């Protein structure tokens, strides 16, 4: 009955998915596996990653090791690997969804605190890396072999990050500066043509995902909304997410049109239906 109920739900109307304070104030993530389970960090306590079934039943999936604290989560295209930004130990972690084994996929001492991750159509990982203390940030490119290269520096507090559906552009937002930037991705993985897509006059930003048409879904931290922004930088709508401090967002559900949002004020996940499905593994 779960899928028909979701399909019948009004578009862009958020409803609770997990109980209040089932997650801590460090709730981030989220990501959805092939079976429709939703994963988000800091379930029940910190540091953990929780798994929530499509009908809302939650459990601790893994305990984070060695002082690691997860943030953004992404799955590989075949769902055989989960990648997690570990912002305390300067790592991108890899978790086997079946065995739950955790290993370091990439490590870079020059990282500030890797925050969010995106995966391109070619399997390349991209990681935002803000320094909240200095109000600056950078972007890292991580190859399929785990090799780390700095792709952009001298930015503001880089946070939300995603790739366009055709793999040609990388979008990165700056939370404090309230700007969203677009870069062109060259065939060799270098970034160029840095262009300001949109600048918001108030409130911060956190996570960001792209749908199949290239629209960006941006969490507005402090405003309690998700802004849907066109590839040309026009705000199409804002969705109330039932709490002031949304952190990250992902797409899931049987048709890829259910948005799951992590929210700090109520310590939970909420969901709403979108008109367009998310980019695969977005």
Residue pLDDT, tens place only, 149-184: 999 999 999 999 999 999 999 999 999 999 999 999
Residue 5: predicted pLDDT: 44
Q: What residues are paired with 50 via a beta bridge? A: 40, 60
State both tokens at 70.
Answer: 């997860």
**CB 151, CB 141: distance < 8 Å:** yes
Residue 8: predicted pLDDT: 61
User: Residue 280: which pLDDT band, with cuts at 50, 70 and 90?
Assistant: confident
Q: What is the mean pLDDT of residues 89-111?
A: 97
**In this model, does residue 31 exceed pLDDT 90?**
yes
Q: What is the mean pLDDT of residues 54-83?
A: 96
- From 178, 250, 240, select the one nearest 207 (Cα to Cα): 250
Cα 163 to Cα 214: distance, rounded to the nearest angstrom:
9
DSSP state of 275: S
Determine if the peptide bond prior to 98 is cis (ω within 30°). no
Q: Number of C-alpha atoms within 13 angstroms, CB side, residue 101?
A: 5
Residue 282: predicted pLDDT: 60
Instruction: Tell me the average pLDDT of the chain.
Output: 95
User: Residue 9: which pLDDT band, with cuts at 50, 70 and 90?
Assistant: confident
Predicted model pTM: 0.95
Q: What percent of the chain has pLDDT over 70?
A: 97
For domain 2-273, the CATH architecture is 6 Propeller (2.120)
Q: What residues are paired with 183 via a beta bridge? A: 170
The residue extents of the domains of the chain are: 2-273
């Amino acid at each position: 009955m779960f899928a028909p109920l979701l399909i019948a739900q009004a578009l862009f109307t958020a409803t609770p998915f997990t109980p209040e304070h089932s997650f801590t104030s460090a709730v981030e993530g989220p990501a959805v596996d092939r079976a429709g389970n939703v994963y988000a960090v800091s379930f029940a306590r910190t540091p953990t990653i929780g798994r929530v079934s499509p009908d809302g039943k939650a459990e601790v999936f893994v305990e984070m090791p060695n002082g690691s604290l997860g943030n953004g989560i992404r799955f590989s295209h075949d769902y055989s690997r989960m990648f997690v930004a570990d912002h305390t130990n300067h790592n991108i972690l890899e978790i086997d969804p079946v065995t739950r084994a955790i290993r370091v996929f990439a490590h870079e001492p020059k990282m500030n605190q890797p925050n969010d991750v995106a995966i391109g159509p070619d399997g390349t990982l991209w990681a935002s890396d803000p320094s909240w203390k200095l109000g600056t940030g950078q972007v890292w490119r991580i190859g399929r072999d785990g090799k780390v290269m700095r792709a952009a520096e001298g930015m503001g507090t880089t946070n939300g990050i995603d790739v366009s559906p055709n793999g040609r552009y990388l979008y990165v937002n700056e939370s404090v500066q309230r700007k969203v930037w677009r870069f062109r991705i060259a065939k060799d993985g270098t970034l160029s043509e840095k262009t300001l897509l949109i600048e918001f006059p108030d409130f911060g930003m956190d996570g960001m995902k792209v749908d199949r048409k290239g629209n960006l879904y941006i969490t507005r931290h402090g405003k309690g909304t998700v802004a849907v922004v066109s590839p040309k930088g026009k705000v199409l709508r804002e969705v109330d997410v039932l709490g002031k401090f949304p952190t990250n967002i992902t797409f899931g559900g049987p048709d890829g049109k259910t948005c799951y949002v992590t929210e700090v004020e109520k310590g939970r996940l909420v969901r709403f239906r979108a008109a367009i499905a998310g980019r695969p593994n977005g």
